Amino acid sequence: MTQKIDLTKIRNIGVIAHIDAGKTTTTERMLFYTKKIHKIGEVHDGTATMDWMVQEQERGITITSASTTCFWRDIHINIIDTPGHVDFTVEVERSLKVLDGAVVVFCAVAGVQPQSETVWRQADKYHVPRIAFVNKMDRVGADFPNVLAEIHQKLGACAAAIQLPLGAEENFSGMIDLVEEELVMPVDEKGEKFERKPVPEEHKAKLQEYRHTLIERVAEVNDYLMDLYIHNKPITKEDIKRSIREATVANKFCPVLCGSSLKNKGIQLVLDAVCDYLPSPLDVPAVKGFEPDSGEYEERQVSMDAPFCGFCFKVMSDPYVGRLNFVRIYSGKINAGETVFNSVKREDERISKIVRMHANKQEMIESAHCGDIVAFVGLKETNTGDTLCDEKNPIVLEAIKFPEPVVDLAIETKSKADQEKLAFALRKLQDEDPSFRVTYNTETAQTIISGMGQLHLEIAVDRILREFNVEAKVGRPQVAYRESIRKKMSVTGKFIQQSGGRGQYGHVVLIMQPQEVPGTGITFEETLKGGVIPREYIPAVKNGIVMAAKSGVLGSYPVTDIAVTLVDGSFHEVDSSEIAFQMAASIAFTDGLRSGGSYLLEPIMDIEIVVPEEFMGSVIGDFSSRRGKLVSMGQRGNVRVLRGHVPLAEVFDYANIVRSLTQGRASFTMEPFCYQEVPKDIANKVLGIK
């Protein structure tokens, strides 16, 4: 790679939002104005470039995050378009892990919705700087000041408008640029050409009011602008731009823009804001990890000269090139044909090809460098969450934590010939989607697939039937229950077998106790003294616990939220083996479940129902009858907004119920909230106890 690469000219961004806010439409316009595509595709027609899956085109929703690359001004922008539906929230999670910035899209009518809060929290978790785009300003009920207020109140964000809409609903015609103090008006239907004019006299007072708020908000989080502001020094456009950039990159401020993606208004200004205010790879902190052997903390600076380091955040199967590993490169550079080291699996992997992705199309490139998001072809062992690096300078980056699935479904083939095809399909889907789990129920001899919701599993089944041509029958969706324990106890597990010749001997003593923080899952530590069990057998003890936790003692549901500590045990110099200690740990754990007061947990959903005033009473009455707890009641325009928590088991067919209660006028959204204990009478019903 001989040419000098300017890393300040790269932006790695994601487009994130609530379902139906207009992410894919916004991305489509970005690709059109950057000349990446020459015809605008529409989501409702099934022709959007980034929605390339058959299921996405049929349903008009985004299911999988798609990446592409384009150029605006002299900036190279890598864009990831993410799904908005809560069932595919994992796609947002893994995208934000590797992005430097994000464009958060809000609907000008609906404002900040529950899933908007979820994606905002995910961006907070990964410290991703963001700009906000209030879309659909042309829609009836569009209210820009209301959305701006909700961004402050509901998200707790330090945000201010850098644009104002000129008009709203059918009168929306352009944007007032608060930084440049100009009116931006599209002059053709596709919005390719626009002109900048002086702001009309009747809007000047509003401009000055919002501009003053903008300067005040940025000055609160930016010392440079604060100094100018309090000393009454003149503040230039350049000062404002520089301060907005510094505050946004530091994740202390969020500029808010407005427009209408469908009507081709305001997208070029979003692209300008991406280039002006979102960080380059050099602006974000060095990536953190640890040395795999010593466990010592490590950092990798963003530099072409640093050792190679990349993170695999997604795996996809392509019918032509096979397995594609999407990788964000944090340091160094790599050429096609070179070998990299997978520091998690401890395996060498050869990269046969490097491709730049444009939705599901590939562009072959010879090499890639830090700051790039590319796909590698030829990796056999690398999965989502693995680190790829230089073998002489190994590092393991922090993996992605995926949420627990909440819905189960039984699937079986119609003929024996399809069993192998089903196993292959399930393996592929698991590779691609870490929130999709497959287990085998030995009692019913059924394959169980688990996911984040009904839609998630519906799409998976659809792909199994159509993409992989498997003839299969599926059961009804079931709630994914979990089991846990009530009290702390000490348990002993012994596995001793003597059958002539070498025997088996494993002996462990475990302390098992409920986790203090729900949702922590199963944790394992050891406090052994004096080498009572050799170090090489401790991973086998952990494996035994993990295996035993897959099936509880009440209804064979997975076990969660237990802290296990290995405190004692013994070994035999000849007969002890890894399998003996694995079995001993499994026996001890299962005994602990029996004597620790096991109980059943169920997934609780966070739900928001938007309902016209006249139907509110009947909706609240029905909600309470479903063991629902109301958390808040609010007003949005002329409708009421109910927020609450309800067990998933009670709202499986809630869409039809809400429709019939409100003559089809109410809508709702829900997402997993937590796991809680099932009331005794309902637990008995689930477990078949009379």
Radius of gyration of the chain (CA): 28
Q: Are 108 and 147 in contact (CB under 8 A)?
A: yes
Q: Is 23 annotated as a binding residue?
A: yes
Q: Is 666 annotated as a binding residue?
A: no
Backbone angles phi, psi at 219, to 5 degrees: -60, -30
* Both tokens assigned to 372: 């790039």
98: closest CA among 12, 183, 212? Answer: 12
Q: Is 4 annotated as a binding residue?
A: no
Q: Are 502 and 606 in contact (CB under 8 A)?
A: no
H or E, element range at 11 = strand 10-17
H or E, element range at 146 = helix 144-153
Q: Is 19 annotated as a binding residue?
A: yes
C-alpha to C-alpha distance for 100 and 372, rounded to whole angstroms: 11
Q: Within 13 A of 352's CA, how many CA atoms are on the CB side?
A: 8
* H helix runs in 324-436, sequence order: 419-432
Q: Is 85 annotated as a binding residue?
A: yes
Strands (DSSP E) contained in 613-678 are: 629-636, 639-647, 667-677
Q: Sign of dihedral through CA atoms 369, 370, 374, 375? A: positive
* H helix runs in 236-306, sequence order: 237-249, 267-277
Q: Is 138 annotated as a binding residue?
A: yes
Q: Is 81 annotated as a binding residue?
A: yes
Between strands 130-135 and 254-258, the pairing is parallel
Return contacts of 514-520, CB within 8 angstroms, 24+ apart: 514/484, 514/485, 514/486, 514/487, 514/488, 514/561, 514/562, 514/563, 515/561, 515/562, 515/563, 518/561, 518/674, 518/675, 519/561, 519/674, 519/675, 520/561, 520/563
Q: Is 124 annotated as a binding residue?
A: no
Q: Are 354 and 321 in contact (CB under 8 A)?
A: no
Q: Is 76 annotated as a binding residue?
A: no
C-alpha to C-alpha distance for 153 and 279, rounded to whole angstroms: 26
Residue owning tokens 């300017």: 6
Q: Is 137 annotated as a binding residue?
A: yes
The conformational region for residue 598 under phi > 0 = left, psi -120 to 50 = alpha, else beta, is beta
Instruction: Please state, as a whole number, how many other Cβ atoms lie within 10 Å of the Cβ of residue 495.
Output: 22
Q: Is 357 annotated as a binding residue?
A: no
* Both tokens assigned to 663: 């003559």
Q: SS3 letters for 73-107?
A: CCEEEEEEECCCCHHHHHHHHHHHHHCCEEEEEEE
Q: Is 605 annotated as a binding residue?
A: no
Q: Is 18 annotated as a binding residue?
A: yes
Residue owning tokens 């830090």: 370
Q: Is 20 annotated as a binding residue?
A: yes
Q: Is 17 annotated as a binding residue?
A: yes
Would you list which residues are annotated within the binding site for GTP? 17-24, 81-85, 135-138
Known binding-site residues equal 17-24, 81-85, 135-138
